[in-house]
A and B are shown apart, each in its own frame.
Chain A
Amino acid sequence: DTAVSQTPKYLVTQMGNDKSIKCEQNLGHDTMYWYKQDSKKFLKIMFSYNNKELIINETVPNRFSPKSPDKAHLNLHINSLELGDSAVYFCASSQDWGGRGYVPDTQYFGPGTRLTVL
C-alpha cells in the first residue's frame, strides 16, 4: 500500500540511450511533480502536472518529457541521455492546490530513482 511508488529504483545506462521512469500514486491526489536531486543533494522542481495538465515546466532540456496518462501516473521520458543527467529523480504528489485557494499542500515523495549515465 505504498503511497507514491517509482520504478525502477536504480537505472544504469549508456550515454545516448533513451529511458523512462514511472511514477504512480494511490493517494487520490490531483497534482504530481518531478524533482531532480543532484550530487550535492540539491532538490529542484522539473515539472508539475495538475489533473493531467502541465503546470510547471522549469528550465529543463527538451530531452526530458513528462507524460501523464491519468492523474495517478506521471512518467518521465529522457532522450539522448547525457553524463550530466546522472542524479536521483523524485516523484511527488499533493492534493489539488487550486481547490484550496492556492494554498500549497503537503507533497508526498516517492523513494527516488537513481539514474547513472556512463
Chain B
Amino acid sequence: AQSVTQPDIHITVSEGASLELRCNYSYGATPYLFWYVQSPGQGLQLLLKYFSGDTLVQGIKGFEAEFKRSQSSFNLRKPSVHWSDAAEYFCAVGVRQAGTALIFGKGTTLSVSS
C-alpha cells in the first residue's frame, strides 16, 4: 500500500540557518510527489511538486526538494530559514488511480528560533 513517512515530528531551526525536512514514500510505480505548507489556522498551500524530469525541484518561498528514487525520498530544503517559515509541512504522494487522492505524511512542525 502507498504510504508517506515524515520521520521528524518537530524540528526547531534558528533563523538564518539551513533547513532539511525528510520525506520517504512507498509506492510501486512512478511517484507524483508534493510538499504542502500549513500555517496556523490556514489551509494548505502547495510549495512544490515533482512529476518527472529534473530531480531537483524549485518551489515558492525559496524552497527546493530533491527526488532520490534509490532512497525513496523527497526531502525539502531551504538554505536560510525566516521566522515566517514556522508552520506545519506535509509531504504527499499522488497515486495514479481513480480519484488520485493525495496520501499525506503525518507532517513536520517547524519552529524557528531567533
Binding site for B on A (CB under 8 A): 4, 31, 33, 40-45, 48, 50, 55-56, 90, 92, 94, 97, 102-112
A75 nearest CB across to chain B (Å): 17
A-B contact count (CB 8 A): 67
Please tell me if the beta carbons of A104 and B96 are within 8 angstroms of each other in the complex.
Answer: yes
B59 nearest CB across to chain A (Å): 12
Residues of chain A within 8 A (CB-CB) of B44 are 43, 90, 92, 109
Residues of chain B within 8 A (CB-CB) of A94 are 100
Residues of chain A within 8 A (CB-CB) of B45 are 109
In the complex, A90→B104 CA distance in Å? 13
Please tell me if the beta carbons of A56 and B99 are within 8 angstroms of each other in the complex.
Answer: yes
From B38, B88, B95, B106, A104 is in contact (CB under 8 Å) with B95
Interface residues on B, range: 20 to 34
Asked if B71 is an interface residue, CB under 8 A from chain A, the answer is no
In the complex, A56→B104 CA distance in Å? 16
Please tell me if the beta carbons of B104 and A43 are within 8 angstroms of each other in the complex.
Answer: yes
19 A–B contacts from the bound complex (CB under 8 Å)? A33-B101, A41-B88, A43-B102, A45-B102, A45-B103, A48-B99, A48-B100, A48-B101, A55-B98, A55-B99, A94-B100, A103-B96, A104-B32, A104-B94, A104-B95, A104-B100, A105-B94, A106-B49, A109-B43
